[in-house]
Amino acid sequence: MKILDRYILKTFLVSLVIVLAAMMGLALLMDLLFNMQKFYDFGGTEQKAGFWTILSGVGGYYFYKSFDYFQMLMAPSILVAAAASFVRLGRARELTGIKAAGVSLYRVMWPMILVALVLDGFYIANQEIIIPSIADQLSRNPNDLEVRKEFAVEFVRDEHNNMLYAPVFDPKTCEMLPQVKQSENGTFTYLARVRIFLRDSKYLPRGTVEAERARWDPKAHGWRLVNGVRLPPMKKDNLLVDRVPEGPEGDPVDFYGTNIGPDEIRRHRASDFHRYMSYAELGALAQDPMRGNRRQLQVALHDHVTNPILNILLLLLGLPFVAGREDRNYFVGIGIAMGLVIGLFALTFAATAFGNAGHIWSPLLAAWLPVMIVLPASVLSMEALKT
């Protein structure tokens, strides 16, 4: 690596660290202020746990959130850092000396583009590996830093195309529980039980597994069923989840192996849980004809491919604007960069929204439309640069 490359790389990396830290810090601070009342409520219910327990809960929440914010802020941070670097080089008249020596601005840009490619590689790894592995943490609500509240498991699909349902899930004990009613004489009546709706590869019903309760066994990677039975496919009129058997029926089943455990159940609790899924997970989920949001999943699936491309195209589009003149101050350069970021965000948001709503007939077109617009604009921008 030549001296010029090292110098430009050092200048750019310093600006990038400052900008990325500032933007992520500002985003986390705004999130903290927005959710302050929820954290106060959490602290009020956890007074016995102590200050450090509460602080660790809030800190852990934002530690995981930082990976999500990185995905949103990486591309803007790179462009703003490039703008700051060029403004700094221009104000010190170093760009003038570089061009006077016959060095093209394209040569100056290459270290920045190289860093952007490396960060884009981490962006992909974060998108496909890190975020899916911590999806249950990212889908938490600030009200639920310590997952305590019971909730229903509403038809979560597993790797076998089967659907898991439970009236109640207890996060503390990792149990799926039935809905029961206590009578005046102290006896309990089951109103709804734990159910696993079995389907074949074509999503056709092939039976149902019912149980009074189910406890997760992490070593066996499955659910231990209490009084579980397997029933043949039922008639359409008998598919109600609150159907209660009148007596013993079906073949006994005491275990059901699946990839859906407590973490996945907590993740699916969030309405936008698909944001934290990998490309492979989204592809499998989007094939399910029983899902009502298949178009949204298909758009998100293609976004996993187009987003890393748009990160680089945004930099290529913006570099000529921030490097074209040496007399710009910091505010003008950064303002131009932020304007391009906002424009690209508006374009991708509109394309995604129209794709989800069906106004763009193909999910593939909805995801790739921003690339089709920004790519030629980036090429023309780089070609028009006076070096």
The Cα 322–Cα 78 span in angstroms is: 12
State residue 268's pLDDT score.
79
Token code pair at residue 281 = 């997970």
State residue 224's pLDDT score.
95
Token code pair at residue 336 = 């131009």
Answer whether 281's CB lies under 8 Å from 128's CB: no
Answer whether 163's CB lies under 8 Å from 289's CB: no
Residue-wise pLDDT for 61-74, tens only, equals 889 999 999 999 99
> How far separated are the first and last CA of the chain, in Å rounded?
22
Residues of the chain with pLDDT under 50: 237
**pTM listed for this prediction:** 0.76
What is the DSSP secondary-structure string of 243-289?
A: ---SS--SEEEEEEE-S--HHHHHHHTSTTGGGG--HHHHHHHHT-T
Q: What b-and-e string marks burial along 275-302, b requiring 16 or more CB atoms within 10 Å of the CB? A: bbbbbebbebbbeeeeeeeebbbbbbbb
Residue 303: phi and psi, rounded to 5, are -60, -30
Q: Which residues pair with residue 224 across a beta bridge?
A: 215, 255
150 closest CA partner among 126, 128, 178, 122: 178
The identity of residue 179, as a single letter, is: Q
The Cα 196–Cα 228 span in angstroms is: 10
State residue 51's pLDDT score.
62
